Structure 1
Amino acid sequence: MREALNQGLIDFLKASPTPFHATATMARRLEAAGYQRLDERESWNTVPGGRYYVTRNDSSIIAIRLGKHSPLLNGLRMVGAHTDSPCLRVKPQPELQRQGFFQLGVEVYGGALLAPWFDRDLSLAGRVTFRRDGKVESQLIDFRLPIAVVPNLAIHLNREANQGWAINAQTELPPVLAQVAGDERVDFRALLTEQLAREHGLNADVVLDYELSFYDTQSAAVIGLNGDFIAGARLDNLLSCYAGLQALLDAEGDESCVLVCTDHEEIGSSSACGADGPMLEQVLQRLIPEGDEYVRSIQRSLLVSADNAHGVHPNYAEKHDANHGPKLNAGPVIKVNSNQRYATNSETAGFFRHLCMAVEVPVQSFVVRSDMGCGSTIGPITASHLGVRTVDIGLPTFAMHSIRELAGSQDLAHLVKVLGAFYASSELP
Structure 2
Amino acid sequence: MPRVLMNSGLFVDREGERMQVLADHVYHVLVIAFVATTFIEVIVKAARKPRKRKRGPVAPRESAAEREKRLRERYAAFGDRWREWLDRPRGSGDADRLVTAASVWGSPEQGASFPRRFHDSQLGKVMLDKRSYLAMLNAPADVVQPRRELAPTSWAKIRLDVWALHSKAAQKPRLMRVWLSGDRALVELHRTRVVKVDEILPSEIVGFVRGFTRLAPRKGAVDGLRWLPAEAMELGEKPLWNTFRVLRGISGVAPEGSPVADALRAGDYHAFAFVVSRAESAWKEPCAHLRVLDCAGVTYQVGDAFSRESDDVRWAPRGAGDEAPARAGEEEPTEASRRGRGRPSGLAGLSEGSGTVATPGKPVSGVGPGVSGLLGDEPEPLADTDLAVVPIDPREVLRAVERMIEL
Structure 1 or 2: larger helix share?
2
Structure with max Cα Rg:
2
Q: State the structure with bigger RCO (CA 8 A, min sep 6), 1 or 2.
A: 1
